[in-house]
Amino acid sequence: MRTRPLKVALLGCGVVGSEVARIMTTHADDLAARIGAPVELAGVAVRRTGKAREGIDPALVTTDATALVKRGDIDVVVEVIGGIEPARTLITTAFEHGASVVSANKALLAQDGAALHAAAEANGKDLYYEAAVAGAIPLIRPLRESLAGDKVNRVLGIVNGTTNFILDKMDSTGAGYQEALDEATALGYAEADPTADVEGFDAAAKAAILAGIAFHTRVRLDDVYREGMTEVTAADFRSANEMGCTIKLLAICERSKDGTSVTARVHPAMIPLSHPLASVRGAYNAVFVESDAAGQLMFYGPGAGGSPTASAVLGDLVAVCRNRLNGATGPGESAYADLTVSPMGDVVTRYHISLDVADKPGVLAQVATVFAEHGVSIDTVRQQGKDGEASLVVVTHRAFDASLSGTVEALRKLDTVRGVASIMRVEGE
């Protein structure tokens, strides 16, 4: 074993960063044995000094992150500060000054992953980011290494624990959205401002990363269709249960049947209770992968939190340090396929549409005619009426999103349709 330690700079010392530092200290001997050399925490960059950080030598703490990554003796930079800047500049500066990088920054990778990979390659360094998607769940490495010889056709997953907790609570207790969100906040699952989670921004960034790796195509955050879950109601869950389904906020990345394009999207969807993702409860994450040779694979576990995320960071740190010792680098960006990223209008799926209609003869015929005129085939219809008003639930066969949009617009113009109560996609067939 080499006795000279590999030096690690840690950018950020919050929930994840402090846990990374703790594990590096408490598991130092095991890490050294696995890597083939000891690893040494050489510096910790934070916004403000003066705060006691258990287990970290105060002499290592600095507010000058730029000077830390420029030192030249740093072997690996671990970036867990998040956001776009200064993280982007710090990472590229680290490459330029001889360090490889381990990051958990999903937002930055989804927006500028191609540029970061190019900077890593130009400087002959590694960029690893297992912790950017689904916390402790090994997912990035299986997709880009274990399945490198296979053809991935679909990635379908629950990649945000906060939203899954809220939807699971709504399903299991009959609670409304706000009530479930309040409980998630009280338990620490939801931030004071939950927008990034409940509006799908967090999941969309992860979907961009997953799609890019799975399909060997550059997929940016702007390419991902995003729809939040704030409009999901207890009534939607009742309808889902009547169909033998539940509702999840899903990240869905698909290759087209002809293999020439891909789509990436995040939105609430009904999935059958028989699907493995339907049983994912609480704040857990799970990702379902479908490929030609391996078939169906499912990855499941805690998707956030200090310890789970730090576990993924340390796994990358071990891999990068091993590469460093061997004078090698691991897999970089693979975007050779360069497939077209299609818009949401080209997506084909089933739909569940709930309409408030007048309770009188001929309504169903009018509604059916609109669907037929727009080329959308109806699978099932359920109607309930009372005191001159009725609820009409239509479940379609698979149809283009653009066709369904035109159908709904035409339905709204019918005198007998009082309103469109909800529209939800049905996935996981």
Q: Which residues contact 328 (CB under 8 A, 6 or more apart)?
A: none
Arithmetic mean of pLDDT, 214-235: 96
- pLDDT per position as a tens digit, 32-56: 999 999 999 999 999 988 787 888 9
pLDDT band for position 386 (cuts 50, 70, 90): low
pLDDT score for 155: 98
Of the candidates 424, 417, 422, 419, the residue with the CA atom closest to the CA atom of residue 364: 417
Asked if 261 and 344 count as a contact pair (C-beta separation under 8 A), the reply is no
The answer to whether residue 66 scores a pLDDT higher than 90 is yes
Q: Is 151 labeled as catalytic in the residue annotation? A: no
Confidence of residue 388 (pLDDT cuts 50, 70, 90): low
Place of tokens 């809220």: 166
Distance spanning both ends of the chain, measured CA to CA: 52
Query: Is residue 12 left, alpha or beta, with left meaning phi > 0 and alpha meaning psi from -120 to 50?
Result: left
The yes-or-no verdict on residue 265 having pLDDT over 90 is: yes
Tokens 């369904």 belong to which residue?
404
Name the average pLDDT for the chain. 94
Q: From the candidates 7, 125, 169, 206, give the one annotated as an active-site residue.
A: 206
Which of the four pLDDT bands, split at 50, 70 and 90, describes residue 339? very high
- Residue 428 has a pLDDT of 80
CA distance 119 to 103: 14
pLDDT tens track for 285-323: 999 999 999 999 999 999 888 899 999 999 999 999 999
Which helix or strand (DSSP H or E) is residue 19 part of? helix 15-26
The pLDDT value recorded for residue 135 is 87
Q: Which helix or strand (DSSP H or E) is residue 95 part of?
A: helix 87-96
Q: How many CB atoms lie within 10 A of CB 297?
A: 17
Mean pLDDT in residue range 153-161: 97
Query: Would you say residue 2 has pLDDT above 90?
Result: no
pLDDT at residue 332 in the model: 94
Would you state the pLDDT for residue 51?
81
**What pLDDT does residue 72 have?**
92
Q: pTM (2 decimals)?
A: 0.94
What is the reported pLDDT for 306? 87
pLDDT the model gives residue 356: 92
* Alpha-helical regions (H) of 102-160: 106-122, 140-141
Cα gap 289→133, rounded to integer Å: 14
Q: If you write DSSP's letter for every residue of 31-76 in order, what string do you get?
A: HHHHHTS-EEEEEEE-S---S--TTS-GGGEES-HHHHHTSS---E
Enter the DSSP assignment of 288.
E
